[in-house]
Structure 1
Amino acid sequence: MTTSLTAPVTLLREAYDGFARGDLPAVFGAMSPDIRWTEPVGSVYPGPFTGPQEVVDGLFSRLATEWTAFVVTPERFLPSGSTVVVNVRYEVTHAGTGRSAAVRGVHVWESDGERFTAFEGFLDTHVLRVAAGV
């Protein structure tokens, strides 16, 4: 694997590790100030969101308050030029309903070579909506 493919994967691994620790500065350090973040169609938290602050306000702060557990585990990183596709597994428990769910998904990240400029998630939103009771 070439350095041009290794660097974005390393940056993303650090961001996912930061998310798992609750270290949002580590997550946002990987994002461009004008990142375009797109949640899947049918998401409990529809977007898109532009910039890290919108991601915090529209998504991350809600995840922190509405779920007692929201674990995203990256399983495989597939770099291709400025794009990195990540196979992920979600394990969640909703605070209001007490329901848990597990679902696999895909995250697609676009990079400008230094930071990630776009994110799009793909997963079975129905599973998460049932857990959230919506």
Structure 2
Amino acid sequence: MPSQLANIDIIRHTYEGPQYLLAALTESTEWTEAAGYPYGGTYHGVASIKENVFDRLGTEWDGFTPTVHVYHEFKDKDIIIAEGTYTGVYKATGRSIHADFVHVWELDSGKIVKFKQYVDSHIVVQAMTNE
């Protein structure tokens, strides 16, 4: 991914496929999944983020998709905020989700240095259980 891309374009690309996301991460990227979310916690570096979040999403869900509806760019702070919804079907239960999320991305020199997720985790947890 060329380094001359604007921050907002880098983040838009991350939602187009894992190859774009992985290319924008570094070994010092801090990635925080929301408390209460099944993959909740803070992970550091590409391998940890991939293993604890994306490998699990890819194997535990059918069609897990984050769809962004609105981007907000704070150029003077190198921050992008994305608002959207998660959809997908949890394989073990066959239950689907439609959960709102907000992602806060912080970049430096075209690389993601920090990510924080806000999500209605209750909806996701319900889909993952037989209750």
Same fold (TM over 0.5): yes
Q: Which moved more, 1:67-76 or 1:123-132?
A: 67-76
88, 93, 117: which one aligns with 2:113: 117
**Partner amino acid, structure 2, of 1:28:** L
Whether the 8 Å contact between 1:82 and 1:113 is mirrored in structure 2 is: no
% identity of equivalent residues: 28
How big is the shift at 1:119?
0.3
Whether the 8 Å contact between 1:31 and 1:116 is mirrored in structure 2 is: yes
Runs of 4+ in 1 over 4 A off after TM superposition: none
Matches within 5 A, 1:1-134: 7-18=6-17, 24-80=18-74, 81-133=77-129
**Partner amino acid, structure 2, of 1:90:** Y
User: What is the CA deviation profile of residues 79-120 of structure 1, one whole-angstrom value per residue up to 9, with x for unaligned ones?
Assistant: 112111000211121000000010111000001132110000
Gaps of 5+ in 1: 1-5, 19-23
User: What is the CA deviation profile of residues 32-89 of structure 1, one whole-angstrom value per residue up to 9, with x for unaligned ones?
Assistant: 2211000011010122110111011111111111111201011111011211100021
Alignment root-mean-square deviation, CA: 1.3
SS for the counterpart of 2:115 is strand
Gaps of 5+ in 2: none
* Whole-Å separation in 1 of the counterparts to 2:120 and 2:107: 25
TM-score, with normalisation over the residues of structure 2?
0.89
How big is the shift at 1:127?
0.2
